[in-house]
Amino acid sequence: MTDSSHPNCSTLKPTFFKARLPLFALLILLASVLLLAGCGPEAPAATATPTKTALPAGEPILEAPNTLAQATDTPVPPTPTPEVPPTATPLPENIAPFTGKVVADTAPLRMRPILMCINNDPVGRSAHYGLNKADLVYEYIVDGFTITRMTALYQSQRAERIGPVRSARMPNIWMTQMYDGVLACSGGSDEIRYLLKNEVGFPYLDVDIDDPSNTVYFSSIGSDYRTRLQGRTDGVRQWLDDTARRCVAQPDLPFCQKVINNLLTPEGTIKPWNRPGFSYSETPATFDAGPANSIQIPYPGGNNVEWRYDAQSNQYVRFQGGQAHIDNETGAQITTDNVIILFANHTLTNIVEDSLGTKGVDIDLYGFGDFRIFRDGRVYEGTWRANDESPPRWLGPGEQIVPLKPGQSWIQVVRPTDTITYQ
């Protein structure tokens, strides 16, 4: 069967910019008026969606997900959606919020998750290390809709080596805010770097600025920029502790005033982390939409992803670009317990990401949209909801929360016009 979800006019993001020029305010007000006019009850009935000409098998539909989406200046996040995601039942203190598994050491569960930017071009993919230790992995389209990048989230267990680490992109802002995490990447465009160091309100470790020698918090292996930079969870935690101590001693430093001071207790330590996790159950929910033993995701640039269900291990096995995807830490093919297809609107921006002039891609990760969750060889359909203070809630028929299988999850972010195939 095939799936192609559709965009809607209600997927919104929170505004984190503290000040805007009047022109921006006027533009936002005008956009709000037009949005209300387009979505109000007096609007005429929508015409039928025209039939699309089929593309060759395995290729993504490259039509823009929103006919109004085109190149823009640095995106100005719109007004937040008023809808509040349903809250999952709080997990016991010894259950990891993003794996649903029991942990012996509960201390890391009170620490901010670490989100690390991972290269996923073919050369970088061949050198992947430590993805098996992540609680959660996002894969998403970047750089002019030409390639994908990954952001791996680490909380419940340490990882001694993670890589190769690359630069930040706009979607990293929304991800890190919703998980209240610490972002660790290697540089980025001037616009993204400015936002991350001055506007977003969460800790950002930029390796190029905070560890230019790559000897304190990160390490460097070889000379190829696509594969050399390696991170570790202890290194990021050390940077956050060092930064906190610096801000206790010098609270008037700009980065301390804008970010770190708000994270400190009166004693000068980092405040405990507290965000809702996902819902989990060893027993699959009964409202699935049928079997799903193979999943094909048509990412651009020859980066198509396939997940195949292995009944013996009760996990999904990963392929990309027609090749088995290997984690070099274990030497084994990457597997996961949950595959989540998250449909979200994508917009091409005017942010230049590289020396070739490639434009950045922004993704609407707040608001709501369609999803498909695959676990235990079955597929579940529903709607995700998220905002800047809550990771996604996975809602099935009748707004029932779809429980994930305890274990690792991969969130595959796609455009509403991308055709996902599973059987």
364 alpha carbon, distance to own chain's centre: 10
Overall number of domains in the chain:
1
Q: Is 318 exposed, middle or buried (0-12, 13-18, 19+ CB in 10 A)?
A: buried
In a domain, 232, yes or no: yes
Residue 58 lies in a domain: no
pLDDT surpasses 80 at 368: yes
φ/ψ of 191, rounded to 5, equals -65, -45
Residue position matching structure tokens 């080596």: 161
Residue 14: its pLDDT value, please?
40
pLDDT for the residue numbered 83: 52
- pLDDT category of residue 20 using cuts at 50, 70 and 90: very low
Q: Give residue-wise pLDDT tens across range 67-111.
A: 333 444 444 444 444 455 555 567 788 999 999 999 999 999 999
The answer to whether residue 316 is domain-embedded is no
Inter-residue contact 202 to 183 (CB < 8 Å): yes
Residue 175: which domain range?
107-263
**Does residue 130 surpass a pLDDT of 50?**
yes
How much of the chain, in percent, has pLDDT values that exceed 70? 79
Q: Which of the four pLDDT bands, split at 50, 70 and 90, describes residue 5? A: very low
Question: How far apart, in whole angstroms, are the C-alpha atoms of residue 207 and residue 216?
Answer: 10
Tokens of 162: 């993670």
Q: Which two tokens stand for residue 31?
A: 């956009």
Considering the chain, what is the average pLDDT of its residues?
85
Out of 1-5, 30-34, 153-157, 252-256, give the one with best mean pLDDT: 153-157
Candidates 134, 162, 137, 136; CA nearest to 148 is 137
Tell me, yes or no, whether 140 lies in a domain. Answer: yes
- Start-to-end Cα distance in the chain: 6
For the chain, the farthest-separated pair of C-alpha atoms sits apart, in whole angstroms, at 63
Radius of gyration of the chain (CA): 21
Q: What is the CATH number of the domain that holds 159?
A: 3.50.90.10
User: Rounded to whole angstroms, how far apart are CA atoms 393 and 406?
Assistant: 16
**pLDDT tens-place string over residues 301-325:** 999 999 999 999 999 999 999 999 9
> What is the reported pLDDT for 92?
85
Angle between helices 170-179 and 190-198 in degrees, nearest 10 = 20
CA distances from 221 to 123, 132, 234 (A): 14, 20, 18
In a domain, 178, yes or no: yes
